[in-house]
């Protein structure tokens, strides 16, 4: 069974997401972002079929404790799903740019056009989503594919080979229709991968760009 390793970025939405995953039948282990990355990576190395979920949170990705380091060390080895701040951290980790969105959006329902990627299989197009954000990806690297937008703003991305996806919006919100279906789709897509070995050794950090 898929095991969810949930990185908590100290956000009020955290336990809504955790409850949603558990209601869907997935076991969830929670680590707050002040935990050392080595501890989390060691735990992952002992698991079968883990998926790392990067939670929403305040501030910028660079403020989110161990999360940026985790993404750098896990990409290509462990599937990851990022939500809001987690999505932004994924974009930055792959060489993209996250900046102010121009307008602060808090609790707004938008109709989102998507590209009928596997994570949106069986869902309406456009899809009603809940948005709570002041930052947005303004430059997306070639390694990531944009899978949904609202008014030209990036709402979701995927890395096909690494089985990494990010959602700028909140699937767990009641304002996002079919949010539970979306999360199941994302996990099933993330798990459709070849086995990868998780190393507990910290690699040399490479310069991006």
170 catalytic? Reply is yes
Range 184-200 average pLDDT = 72
pLDDT at residue 62 in the model? 95
Residue 9 has pLDDT above 60, yes or no: yes
165 catalytic? Reply is no
Select from 51, 141, 132 the least CA-distant residue to 91.
Answer: 141
Residue 194 has pLDDT above 60, yes or no: no
Name the pTM for this structure.
Answer: 0.91
Residue 168 CA to residue 157 CA, distance in Å, equals 9
pLDDT digits (tens, 9 = 90+) for 55-93: 999 999 999 999 999 999 999 999 999 999 999 999 999
One of 69, 84, 133, 159 is an active-site residue; which one? 84
Residue scoring higher pLDDT (205 or 19): 19
pLDDT digits (tens, 9 = 90+) for 134-177: 899 999 999 999 999 999 999 999 999 999 999 999 999 999 99
172 catalytic? Reply is yes
* Residue 10 backbone zone (phi > 0: left; psi -120 to 50: alpha; other: beta): left
Residue 196 has pLDDT above 50, yes or no: no
One of 133, 159, 162, 170 is an active-site residue; which one? 170
Structural domains in the chain, CATH included, are 3-191 (3.40.50.880)
Residue 200 has pLDDT above 80, yes or no: no
Strands, E, within 127-200: which ranges? Answer: 127-139, 145-150, 153-159, 164-167
Residue 41 CA to residue 111 CA, distance in Å, equals 37
What is the chain's mean pLDDT, rounded? 91
One of 66, 117, 162, 172 is an active-site residue; which one? 172
Give the strand pairing for 127-139 and 97-114: antiparallel
């Amino acid at each position: 069974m898929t095991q969810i390793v949930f990185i908590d970025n100290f956000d009020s939405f955290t336990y809504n997401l955790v409850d949603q995953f558990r209601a869907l039948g997935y076991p969830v282990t929670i680590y707050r972002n002040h935990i050392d990355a080595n501890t989390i990576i060691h735990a992952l190395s002992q698991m079968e079929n883990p998926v790392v979920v990067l939670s929403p949170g305040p501030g910028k990705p660079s403020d989110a404790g161990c999360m940026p380091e985790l993404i750098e060390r896990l990409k290509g080895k462990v599937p990851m799903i990022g939500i809001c701040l987690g999505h932004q951290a994924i974009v930055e980790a792959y060489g993209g740019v996250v900046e102010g969105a121009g307008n602060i959006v808090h609790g707004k329902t938008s109709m989102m056009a998507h590209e009928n990627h596997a994570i949106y299989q069986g869902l309406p197009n456009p899809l009603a989503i809940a948005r709570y954000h002041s930052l947005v990806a303004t430059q997306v690297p070639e390694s990531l594919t944009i899978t949904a937008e609202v008014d030209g703003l990036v709402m979701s991305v995927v890395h096909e080979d690494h089985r990494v996806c990010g959602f700028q919006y909140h699937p767990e919100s009641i304002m996002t229709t079919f949010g539970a279906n979306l999360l199941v789709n994302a996990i099933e897509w993330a798990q459709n991968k070849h086995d990868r070995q998780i190393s507990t050794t910290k690699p040399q950090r490479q310069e991006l760009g």
